[in-house]
Amino acid sequence: MDKRKEKLNCQLRLIAALKDFTGPVPAGQFTQKEFFIVRLQGIGALLEEFKREKLGELHDWLSARPAGGLTEADAARLRESLAQLTGGQDYNAVCSALSGSRELLLQRLSRVSPLSVAAEERKRPGEFREPSTEKLVSGAYARMGFDRLEKEFAAGRPEDEVLAQARERVGAFSAVGKMPLGADKTMPSPTLNTIEAAAGACFRLLSRMKR
């Protein structure tokens, strides 16, 4: 399978996984909680796989640029892509090499890891969180009313009801049934942000319901 088909395949699997997460629980296969956890973990893994693929594409694109320094437009594209795909430490490491040789830039880029929303949400209270991801997840958490669901669970609402309601709200928030790929068969940045925000909010809700 060529790289273009691999990329499309990952995107389609990611959208399909979100549709599955917001759909009905298969009768007799999972409890509501098991379904929530297993499907959410699958989305988290696909998000990381997709970002890793995008970082690989970025490396290939940079390798193919003409010899010499990057243009301002090229540098802007690199910064924008990195900001969405990786954390601040990796972002700074690569961007600090923009004025250096292409070899140095490629070397730095090859060491970059994709930023995982699942890993961010596993952090303990008080641990440093990436500001961009924190803003994305906190915004989705509030917009979907997960703070209220959290309080309802604490007040005695059954866990299955809370998780089912959360999945339903993810479906409405993401408009998962209307998630086409872009004209060039790539996932637009807003779509990726929406999926990542919804997944992060679900990881956060699940974590808070365990306390």
Grade residue 8 by pLDDT with cuts at 50, 70 and 90: low
- Cα 58 to Cα 87: distance, rounded to the nearest angstrom: 16
- Cα 144 to Cα 172: distance, rounded to the nearest angstrom: 9
Whether pTM > 0.85 for this model: the answer is: yes
Grade residue 168 by pLDDT with cuts at 50, 70 and 90: very high
- Residue listed under structure tokens 């499907």: 39
What token pair was written down for 119?
């890993």
- What is the rounded average pLDDT of the residues 151-174? 96
Q: What is the mean pLDDT of the chain?
A: 90
23: left (phi over 0), alpha (psi -120 to 50) or beta: beta
- Portion of the chain with pLDDT greater than 90, in percent: 73
In the prediction, which pLDDT does 183 show?
46
What token pair was written down for 180?
């086409």
- What is the rounded average pLDDT of the residues 106-132? 94
Model confidence over 40-96: pLDDT tens digits? 999 999 999 999 999 999 999 999 988 777 889 999 999 999 999 999 999 999 999
